[in-house]
Chain A
Amino acid sequence: MKAPAIRFYQTGSFAVGNRLLDPEQRSVQAGEQRTNSITCGHRACQGCGEALGARYALDAAMRATNGQMIAANATGCLEVFSTPYPETSWQIPWIHSLFGNAPAVSTGIAAALRAKGREDVRVVGQGGDGGTVDIGMACLSGMFERNDDVLYICYDNEAYMNTGVQRSGATPPAARTATTQAVGPEPGNVFGQGKSAPLIAMAHEIPYVATATVAELRDLEAKVQTAMEIRGARYLHVLVPCPLGWGSASKDTIRIARLAKESGIFPVFEARDGEVTDVSEIRRQVPVEDYLRPQKRFAHLFKPEPRTEVIARIQAGAERNIRRFGLLPDPKEGS
């Protein structure tokens, strides 16, 4: 399902005012009938992208499955802030086992449901980038390869935030973390080769892979809806800015997520059976500098003096994404 095209948004932000729309066009999250899968009172930081992403995604999944859903969670912020003993924010059946095994626990749940003839109940596994692209990668790959009937959602905030902002395999080049500090001749994270979990997922040729950000609420919900209409292994990778780890203002979480997409840093697309089938085009391209500047984790790129070469390398990466995924409208087709 594609998110309905709504050309009725706030100037400058692309945020859509639900109140101005017909009820059927409103997002799941705007509806009174939403499940509140992860309900209020949890302990996430102000402006937490992950809390927001999980809320959108799980409520959409609950709507798509008529509330017949079980979730498995990797260790991480989402698990810790949602279940401070003896409280829980989860209004859905939810299990947390370990850091690296959420995809396998999900497989076990799906297998149990199959054995019990309860395939109407669907399974969502979820974790952060550390639990997904690093320590959970083997279990994730196994779940993909067997095509188990699981939607796995990675909430990517690009470092190990729960343990105090250490580098993960999803930490971008040059970013400052507690283990890639902004000191020495090459401050921040190394320029590695990157580790794109969505592309790895696509290499398994699973039925559905998609990326999304918390800036595009309807897009995220639509992708969850699509994913739940498909059987087999599905992967959704959601970029969720982390004010604490990124050194950004709490109020800027959505804006920064949007800049990640609009700069080409984070390509938003859908793929089926290993082939890209749709991309969210950049509406108004911005230089990566606009994305980097509001984040303290990149502050060393701008002062004491600008590290223009590093910024240029990051820009080149964004351009590569734009070319590879076709994120800009073809100028020949433009009017």
Chain B
Amino acid sequence: MLRQVEGSRAVAEAVAFCRPEVICAYPISPQTHIVENLSQLVKTGELAPCEFVNVESEFAAMSVAIGASATGARAYTATASQGLLYMTEALYNASGLGLPIVMTVANRAIGAPINIWNDHSDSMSQRDSGWIQLYAETNQEALDLHIQAFRLAEELSTPVMVCMDGFILTHAVERLEIPTQEQVDGFLPPFQPRQVLDPDEPISIGAMVGPEAFMEVKYLAHAKQMQALELIPEIAADFKDVFGRDSGGLIRCYRAEDAETIVLALGSVLGTIKDTIDELRQEGMKIGAVGITSFRPFPLDAVRGALSHSKRVVMLEKALAVGIGGIVSANVRMALAGIQLHGYTVIAGLGGRSITKASLRDLFTDAAADRLEPLTFLDMDWDVVNRELERMGASRASGPHAENILRDVGPVAAGPV
């Protein structure tokens, strides 16, 4: 059914249709609306049987999910930003144990300085945690990916993180196709765990493993993600059969077939990129886009295939690997081994800085003319940066960066942008 609905609400309803048996929640913006909606659905009995556990930290949230999943329950939680970092130890544990937990990450920056707005620093920091990472471009896709995520997780017995841009998607009210319970039931079979804590057939889970077997156990997590490279497109195809929509898959190309310049990105910024591309196409520029839906596993072959006929790739990233630059870029460059192609890393939108069509237009125009530096920071105010660097040079006791820069920038009320 078509409805005008908030992204978080839609995701909550999609998760509820997946019949999770245990949901654990700890508040952190901007994922709160999702678990608030789920708590309501459990409280009213619309989602039953389901236990909604209000925990005392994200670390506990993931730990409760671990216990529940190991007991054979379909388990779900959601988090963002600092919360994801706070559960890091448990994230690795869940994937190491092979527990098919599904979690929403409402992408948000990581402090310091504290910042509640969107970028991808949080989930990118967990790219090697053993979790599959799917990035949603739209709220429709966020909703759809959650339904696919449970099936993917349970078929492989490995956890899946569905990443959606905080606020930009979670808080946007849009026209969405909401599925029915029957559709979801037809797509997602009941959870049949590979391992379960059962008094009738006692097993031990979580034994210590020494050097004699650790590599083999660890490799299995990798093997599952390699299987996911096959399974993700299959599940997307099945999804289309049941729901009639293209959602998910490994990557998504947009006007890329004959493109000389390809913009590669993840998440909701792809919408603004596509609008910009349409304008530039009208002006004759051969430009297209590749959206990465599955960042883990990273689809090396698909990315290589999509980019191999182009002349240059602009890798637009909402995260910064301090000390080197791009995170996505490093992965893309691995896919391009041996291919001569100009590669430009663009760090954009950190801490919620708006990524505007006007800025993208200039950026892509420069890229098409090969006028970009290998590493670009979109809409960076270099004057502010340089003044702080000068203050540092002038005095040993130059004080805290964030406060200095805030003083420099001056008071900012909630203006138009």
Contact = CB atoms under 8 A, between A and B. Distances in A.
In the complex, A touching B, CB below 8 Å? yes
B416 to A, nearest CB: 42
Contacts of A112: 21-22, 51, 67-69, 71-73, 75
Nearest to A110: B67
Contacts of B21: 112, 115-116
Interface string A81-118: 00111101011111111101100111111111111110
B210 A109 contact: no
Contacts of B201: 93
Contact of B67 (A97, A115, A138, A141): A97
A69 interface: yes
A108 B93 CA distance: 15
A108 B202 contact: no
Nearest to A71: B197
B66 A108 contact: yes
Interface residues of A, number: 46
B241 interface: no
Contacts of B360: none
A98 B24 contact: no
Interface residues of B, number: 44
B197 A93 contact: yes
A111 B64 contact: yes
Contact of B90 (A97, A141, A145): A97
A279 interface: no
Most chain A CB atoms below 10 A, which of B54, B67, B93: B67
A82 to B, nearest CB: 8
A107 B199 CA distance: 17
Interface stretch (B55-63, B252-260, B269-277): B55-63
B206 interface: yes
A287 interface: no
A200 interface: no
A105 B205 contact: no
A109 B197 contact: yes
Given A68-B199, A104-B55, A121-B199, A80 B63 contact: no
Contacts of B204: 83, 88, 90, 93-96
A158 interface: no
A104 to B, nearest CB: 3
B159 to A, nearest CB: 13
Interface in B346-366: none
A131 to B, nearest CB: 12
A139 interface: yes
Nearest to A72: B67
Contact of A86 (B24, B67, B206, B213): B213
B49 A93 contact: no
B56 A109 contact: no
Most chain B CB atoms below 10 A, which of A100, A117, A141, A145: A100
A95 B55 CA distance: 20
Contacts of A110: 67
B211 to A, nearest CB: 10
Interface string A111-148: 11111110001000000000000000011011001101
B67 A69 contact: no
